[in-house]
Structure 1
Amino acid sequence: MKEHLARNISRYRKEKGLTQDELAQILGVSFQAVSKWENAVTMPDISLLPQLSSILGISVDKMLGYVPRSEQVTIYEEQYQGSDYYWGVEPNSSCYQVLQCIPPTRPLKLLDIGCGEGKDAVFFARNGYDVTAFDITDAGLDKTKRLADRAKVHVRVFKADIMDFRLDTSFDILHSSGVLHYIKPEYRNEIFSNYKQFTNVNGVHVFNAFVQKPFIAPPPENEPHSYMWSSGELLSHYTDWLIWDSSEIIFDCNSSGIPHQHAMSKIIAKKIN
């Protein structure tokens, strides 16, 4: 919890345009105290948490690393409420690329980032991977659990916001499809450095990200927390890794009931010692 608190104080202080000294003056503490909080050396006194959360514009729960059930970050919280699986139950094509690149011929730990309703996470578990998955939607996580029960496999699931979550344990495979646009551009270097740091040697990342193209209209969904990537941006985070695939595709989509197109950048990269 101390690391979550430290990271969130630093992140939301900067988003409010406050220096450590300015925050300290408002709270009536020294700037050294704020520095220690942000470096996880100490924690603020519990009596300061309500005022601190008010200044930073977030709840105490969120500041401490917990995502309130009532907070809706994505429109898919509502979409996943139905009995049907919004995206179906067939795995994304990237799942087959994982199987091809790093098959589970030995125990392999896999993290599915932004698992949605769990179709990819359950596919991986069915094929022998040790799967952990997280998402921001309660409805999606509930469906992931039900899908795993139906398939008679185990998937460890937890709720987290991709902007707040950081790895503190290592995995062999990191997979994410259609989720990375929820990461604000100014946090991508930090988050991807964390992902790379906590990936085992010879581990693999299989990611895709929506990219902005001037000849493709914006998607019809009104996503309030969506930040498109640029072509080549995803690849730029892996200049020190072995690149297996860095292609870009354009595909048709009808997810909202309105035909539209997306441009997507893909990366398959391996960590070499």
Structure 2
Amino acid sequence: MLKEQLARNISIYRKEKGLTQEELAHILGLSFQAVSKWENAQTMPDISLLPLLSQTLEVSIDKLLGYVTQDKPITIYEEEYKSPNYYWGTEPNADCYKVLQLMPPTKRLKLLDVGCGEGKDAVFFARNGYEVSAFDVSDAGIEKTKRLADQVGVHVNVFKADLLDYRLDTHYDIIFSSGVLHYIKPEYRNEIFDNYKQFTNENGMHVFNVFVQKPFIAPPPEKEPNAYKWYSGELLKHYHDWLIQDSAEIVFDCNSSGIPHKHAMTTIAAQKILTPLG
């Protein structure tokens, strides 16, 4: 697992720096075949090379090895999560009910909440009988997820991970995410969605939403330094080979920053069908 994580991260951060394998190899005094073997998880760099590799790619050794470290906040809400109150409340997102309707837990179903925040949706799913795992990049959010689960007497397997770095190696029946996908850089989207699709069981489902840009809606007052634009239809194209159970676009009022504003959001529920329908 460490070898695969390191291979993926070297490739990701090399491309982010705009370096070819040959250019990275030249800086490190190696052949490009050596770098190619690292990125294909055939070999691992010698430990003595890690400091220079870290310096060249401008990423910490811990992050290269897959350990989540944060020198600065990734989301603007991480400080808010440190307060005792639940910033987003404890009522589940409306899309949670879509999961209940389309794929009720009449049997054991494994569900992953991507970017669970303070845990309101993950805990809701656990209360309703799903076997829930969840991850977030915020320590405070993870602790509040655990606390909320304890308060209602359910278990959520919650762990810390960075959306951009973390890749699935376990299959799930349902993958859910609300209000998080705008943190995925455009150049990572195909790889991340392909990974999520690969590790979804047959007849499993993805239920996602994402903020989309509209010319008739003013930019939100929050200044999100790590948020990236999505456009109408962009989420849907990742599921051209799946059955689209539901897809909609909504405009809603928001007061999260204390300043009333509006958001446009695309929602999708897509199902992985491998056998012919009939």
Q: Same fold per TM (> 0.5)?
A: yes
State how 1:181-192 maps to structure 2 within 5 Å.
181-192=182-193
Provide the rounded CA distance (Å) in 1 between the counterparts of 2:161 and 2:81: 16
1:60 matched to 2:87? The reply is no
Aligned match of 1:253: 254
Moved over 6 A (4+): none
Q: Shift of residue 70 of structure 1?
A: 4.3
User: Secondary structure of 1:208's match?
Assistant: strand
Find the aligned partners of 2:12 and 2:69 in 1 and give their Cα distance: 18
CA RMSD of aligned residues (A): 0.8
2: CA distance between counterparts of 1:205 and 1:162?
Answer: 16
Q: Are 2:48 and 1:47 equivalent residues in the alignment?
A: yes
Match of 1:206, SS state, is strand
Deviations 1:48-87 (A, max 9, x none): 1111011001100111111115442111111101110000
Q: 1-side partners of 2:244 and 2:75: how far apart?
A: 31
Quote the Cα distance in structure 1 between the aligned partners of 2:162 and 2:225.
14
Q: Which amino acid aligns with 1:233?
A: E
User: What 5-or-longer segments of structure 1 have no aligned partner?
Assistant: none
- The answer to whether residue 93 in structure 2 is matched with residue 102 in structure 1 is no
Percent identity (aligned): 74
1:134/1:246 Cα in 2 relative to 1: closer, same or farther (>3 Å)? same
Distance 2:63 2:171 in 1: 24
Contact 1:238–1:269, Cα closer than 8 Å, also in 2: yes
Listed one character per residue, the Cα deviations across residues 169-227 of structure 1 (whole Å, up to 9, x for unaligned) are 10000000000000011111111011111000010100000000111111111111101
Task: Give, in whole Å, the separation in 1 of the partners of 2:259 and 2:130.
Answer: 36
Measured in 2, the distance between the counterparts of 1:74 and 1:5 equals 25
Shift of 1:4: 1.4
Q: Tell me the equivalent position of 1:242.
A: 243
Letter in 2 for 1:116: G
Partner of 1:116: 117
- 1:167 maps to 168
Map of 1:1-273 to 2, 5 A cutoff?
Answer: 1-273=2-274
Q: Unaligned stretches of 5+ in structure 2?
A: none
What amino acid does structure 1 have at the position aligned with 2:35? V
8 A contact 1:114–1:179 mirrored in 2: yes
Once residues 131 and 142 of structure 2 are traced to their aligned partners in structure 1, the CA distance between those partners, rounded to angstroms, is 17
Residues 69 and 138 in structure 1, CA contact (< 8 A), matched pair in contact too: no
Supply the distance in 2 between the matched residues of 1:218 and 1:78 (Cα, whole angstroms).
22
Paired with 2:102 and 2:180, the residues of 1 have a C-alpha distance of 21
In structure 2, C-alpha distance between the alignment counterparts of 1:76 and 1:69, rounded to whole Å? 14
C-alpha separation in 2, matches of 1:38 and 1:72: 28
The amino acid of 2:107's aligned partner reads R
Distance 1:72 1:158 in 2: 17
SS in 2 for 1:252: strand
Higher alpha-carbon deviation: 106-115 or 6-15: 6-15
Distance (Å, rounded) in 1 between the aligned partners of 2:72 and 2:41: 26
| AA aligned opposite 1:230 | Y
Q: Tell me the TM-score normalised to structure 1 length.
A: 0.99
Contact 1:253 1:259 in 2 (8 A): yes
Q: TM-score, normalised by structure 2?
A: 0.97
- Per-residue CA shift, 1:23-66, capped at 9, x if unaligned? 11111111101001111111100111111011001100111111
Greater shift, 46-55 or 66-75, is seen at: 66-75
SS in 2 for 1:89: coil
Mapped to 2, the partners of 1:152 and 1:219 lie a distance apart of: 37
